[in-house]
Homo-oligomer: A and B are copies of this chain.
């Protein structure tokens, strides 16, 4: 009884929810169909629910063989079988994007937050090239406990939002752009250097990570430290 389950190729971290408040989540990318089927079965059996990210359609098909009611969202590429918290989501997490192309990353964040019991407000395509679109929605955004701001190219959206709100902004740079966007590096560096306060940054295209942190903060805001 050492807090993990030994598979041939992996050590499932069965004590993770106790330690961190979240069960182990599956990073599907690069895993074989056989590995995924085994991992999904074990985690579902262990935790009563299972959530994975960056799943290919073919991986979905494979896992469906062993978990027929597994749910797949082809845009955000999350693959999951939900949990009870969905019934009454708590608090509010705003997920905001600069453009249309940032939506898949935003949806990864939103679906992560929803899976772990959060109430999500989506505000998409409100980038700084047309600030009035953002301004028209700011009052609504201000009702959230935490904001996930998703942007590629020059990544200016979190700076603008950060100057207008009281709650933390989790900035997610995306690989949307070309040329000197360097696959999201420019957005990442830009967000790092924001002249506004209250902004912290996760890896390029890491919607899942942002959704996770937003869930942590949302829980704290609703329930306090347990």
Among residues 174 to 226 in chain A, which have CB atoms less than 8 Å away from a CB atom of chain B? Answer: 175-206, 209-210, 212-213, 216-217, 220-222, 224-226
Per the bound structure, the CA–CA distance linking A201 and B210 in Å amounts to 11
A132 touches B3 (CB 8 A): yes
Per the bound structure, the CA–CA distance linking A19 and B220 in Å amounts to 22
Contacts of A186 in B (CB 8 A): 186, 189-190, 192-193
A9 touches B128 (CB 8 A): no
The 9 closest A-B pairs by CB, nearest first: A179-B204, A200-B200, A156-B156, A220-B221, A21-B166, A13-B130, A186-B189, A129-B196, A129-B163
Binding site for B on A (CB under 8 A): 2-4, 9-11, 13, 15-16, 19-22, 25, 29-31, 35, 91, 98-101, 103, 124-133, 136, 143, 145-146, 153-156, 159-160, 162-168, 170, 173, 175-206, 209-210, 212-213, 216-217, 220-222, 224-226
